[in-house]
Chains A and B, each alone.
Chain A
Amino acid sequence: MNRKSTIKAFIFCLVLAAGLYLYFGFYNPSHDAIDKATTEVSVSSDELTSTYILNEKNANSIYRGKVIEVDGVVKKVSFLNNRNTVLLYGNDKYSNVLCDMQSNQIEKVKELKPGQKIRIKGVCKGFLKDAIVLNCMLINTQINE
Chain B
Amino acid sequence: MNKIIILLFMLTGFTDVEVKSDQIITRQGQTSFFSYTSVENIEAKNNQVLSIIDLSKHKIAVSMLMNAFVFKKSLMHEHFNESYIESDLYPKATFEGDIIDFDPLAPGTQIKIIKGDLTIHGITKEVEIKTTIENNNGNYLLTGDFEVAVKDFDIKIPPILAPNIAKTISITFRFEYQPYEK
Residues of A within 8 A of B (CB): 24-30, 32, 60, 64-65, 78, 80-81, 83, 85, 87, 96, 98, 100, 125-126, 128-130, 132, 134
In angstroms, Cα B82 to Cα A2, docked, is 45
In angstroms, Cα B68 to Cα A83, docked, is 14
Task: Name the 7 nearest CB pairs between A and B, nearest first.
Answer: A28-B74, A128-B50, A125-B68, A126-B65, A81-B30, A132-B48, A24-B75
In angstroms, Cα B75 to Cα A78, docked, is 30
B68 touches A134 (CB 8 A): yes
Of the residues A25, A98, A128, A132, contact of B75 by C-beta under 8 Å: A25
Chain B nearest CB from A124 CB (Å) reads 10
Given contacts A125-B65, A125-B67, A128-B64, contact A100 B47 (CB under 8 A): yes
The answer, yes or no, to whether B126 is at the interface (CB within 8 Å) is: no
In angstroms, Cα B63 to Cα A51, docked, is 20
Given contacts A24-B75, A81-B47, contact A126 B28 (CB under 8 A): no
In angstroms, Cα B174 to Cα A81, docked, is 9
A26 touches B73 (CB 8 A): yes
Residues of B within 8 A of A (CB): 25, 27-28, 30, 47-48, 50, 63-65, 67-68, 70, 73-75, 77-78, 91-92, 174, 176
B47 touches A83 (CB 8 A): yes
B65 touches A78 (CB 8 A): no
In angstroms, Cα B50 to Cα A126, docked, is 13
In angstroms, Cα B155 to Cα A103, docked, is 33
Chain B nearest CB from A10 CB (Å) reads 23
| Closest chain A residue to B25, Cβ basis | A129
Q: Which residues of A lie under 8 Å from residue B70 when comparing CB positions?
A: 134
Chain A nearest CB from B157 CB (Å) reads 18
Q: Which residues of B lie under 8 Å from residue A100 when comparing CB positions?
A: 47-48
Q: Which residues of B lie under 8 Å from residue A83 when comparing CB positions?
A: 28, 47
B28 touches A98 (CB 8 A): yes
Chain B nearest CB from A112 CB (Å) reads 16
Chain A nearest CB from B38 CB (Å) reads 18
B67 touches A25 (CB 8 A): no
Q: Which residues of B lie under 8 Å from residue A87 when comparing CB positions?
A: 27
| Closest chain A residue to B73, Cβ basis | A25
Of the residues B47, B65, B174, contact of A128 by C-beta under 8 Å: B65
Chain A nearest CB from B176 CB (Å) reads 6
Q: Which residues of A lie under 8 Å from residue B68 when comparing CB positions?
A: 125-126, 132, 134
Q: Which residues of A lie under 8 Å from residue B67 when comparing CB positions?
A: 64-65, 125-126
User: Most B CB atoms within 10 A — which of A25, A64, A81, A128?
Assistant: A128
A80 touches B48 (CB 8 A): no
A132 touches B65 (CB 8 A): yes
| Closest chain B residue to A135, Cβ basis | B70
Of the residues A25, A32, A60, A81, contact of B28 by C-beta under 8 Å: A81
| Closest chain B residue to A132, Cβ basis | B48
| Closest chain B residue to A29, Cβ basis | B74
In addition to A81-B174, A126-B67, 4 A-B residue pairs with Cβ atoms within 8 Å of each other are A65-B67, A126-B68, A129-B50, A132-B48
Given contacts A83-B28, A128-B50, A128-B65, contact A60 B91 (CB under 8 A): yes
